[in-house]
Structure 1
């Protein structure tokens, strides 16, 4: 009965659409194809769209109700695919898919860039003291941990100890590497003051990248022991694979290394050139606003690019997995949820 109602709603929405590039609406499915990098890039641009931060409570209720009407086949005449896609985008940006509760604004994926950019600016400030280095690395990893927790898979209970373990591991690794590299740079007598300042600006990248890997491994170590679910082409559960878990963690770790690269490497290069311009030399007060804009642009580009590198549902050949998995299905390939 539910399938019939959904089909009826789909037909009604399709009939309401004129000639347009908007694809037919599919409840719970991505708007853009996930088999290509460009499709994934457009999909994640939708997910991180900061405009959804300004959606009112009333608009959210209307979006949720519209999707409920579609699901039960009670759509009003004239509702378009564009309206349905927009409603789904709003719901997915604000409500947790498992708990259906509102995610705190700074920890939504759509809030990651606007709330994270000030932290990036702080990480890249020149002439950092030991205290400021520790503070900004701690704040960055705390923000990352809260975003990870707020957008976690909540279908299965996860002990708080796992979250705390990952958080402490990320903070300790980030702070120790950043402080250690800063001390080495300060003691490097061969560097001129200008060179030392430039090198110091690149210190946050190895610290953040290593902390991100540490966070992923500690938070998801259980997957390496227990395996993750793999599905056949029809979406049927085949089994739980530790080999697939290793692939998933490797892909996620690579994403977490690529993500901070443009954010923490490009701004120092750009700023080192802009600081030599007559405008900024004559108006040093503009340095911080200009650096903030450069960091914002780098963040806005890096986030969708990095998380689009691998499909959310990754594919692997059955022959590469455990023998019991290969025997359990006739499919040549299976898919697994990589995670973000």
Structure 2
């Protein structure tokens, strides 16, 4: 079992415990650490106190855990690309979310922002997914699938803007409806992206482990559970940040203050996106355990025939 998964096995038993740790792991300063420092942290952890709870009382070891959890893929054991590490999510996602919710002059501009947004979320999903047995042979297929998913999502998400500009919808209620649909449609497409981009995990299966961390087989059922849970987590993260600002501003714009200062809406929208996304990122990561569990009754017969374990573990990803 990877070191990061060992950490979550010990320290990820409750939502509040996971939330507390994610607040530390999402520290943006961790992005400025070099690969040598990351490797050093892994070396420290591999030789540290086996009781993880006790080891966290040591400041050096605690910092090593934070760096490892913020930088390494628990499935492959490789460093995650800089821009897709958890601490980079808020700084990169906020400008993209603002661009997605902005009113653009033309469809091309709106499409480009959607393209950038879905390309980033796609890269994040790929970077935090499980490595399957056939991943090397299907790497070109992953590129084609990801590219197609991003283009399709951007095209669908830009439809409300296209309808408003192409047909010049006169009804204020219809315009409001189309404006409100931008956030929910984009959020729904983010969930769709996770299911499609990580589809190889429930097609080929992912590794499952026993309580000692030994790999006992590759399970498609566990892959389905991992991808489904991650899709729910993504909805919890993206949905509120893309849906709430437009709804709140719709009602606030009727007040006297916003009538006098119309530009105030743009600043308030940015503040809401930052605050909502800043809260929902650790909430979504903590909502479902990083180290997932699946019962013996849900596993393929050919796997359970070789072991007496009643519960198995797998890496959910992010």
Greater Rg over alpha carbons, structure: 1
**Corresponding residue number in structure 2 for 1:38:** 16
Q: 2:144 aligns with which of 145, 162, 165?
A: 165
Matched-pair contact (CA < 8 Å) for 1:141–1:167? no
Question: Separation in 1 of the partners of 2:197 and 2:57?
Answer: 41
**Corresponding residue number in structure 2 for 1:136:** 113
TM (normalized to structure 1)? 0.75
Q: What SS does the aligned partner of 1:335 have?
A: strand
Aligned length, in residue pairs: 307
Question: Separation in 2 of the partners of 1:327 and 1:62?
Answer: 43
**Corresponding residue number in structure 1 for 2:101:** 124
> Which of structures 1 and 2 has the larger relative contact order (alpha carbons within 8 angstroms, sep 6+)?
2
> What's the CA shift for 1:82?
3.1
| Structure 2, gaps ≥5 residues long | 49-55
Question: Separation in 1 of the partners of 2:203 and 2:38?
Answer: 40
Question: Separation in 2 of the partners of 1:333 and 1:148?
Answer: 26
Q: 1:207 aligns with which of 172, 185, 188?
A: 185
Cα shift readout 1:41-92 (whole Å, capped 9, x = no counterpart): 2232222222434x466xx86786576457557xxxxx95234212331354
The equivalences for 1:157-306 within 5 A come to: 158=136, 159-183=138-162, 192-193=171-172, 195-306=173-284
Q: What SS does the aligned partner of 2:273 have?
A: helix
> What's the CA shift for 1:113?
0.7
Cα shift readout 1:148-170 (whole Å, capped 9, x = no counterpart): 44555579764442442332233
Question: Separation in 1 of the partners of 2:204 and 2:17?
Answer: 32
Q: What CA RMSD, in Å, does the superposition of the two structures yield over aligned residues?
A: 3.5
Q: 1:31 to 1:310 in 2, by over 3 A?
A: closer
Cα shift readout 1:188-217 (whole Å, capped 9, x = no counterpart): 999732x33432333333432343234323
TM (normalized to structure 2)? 0.80
| Structure 1, gaps ≥5 residues long | 1-25, 74-78
User: Does 1:112 find its partner at 2:89?
Assistant: yes
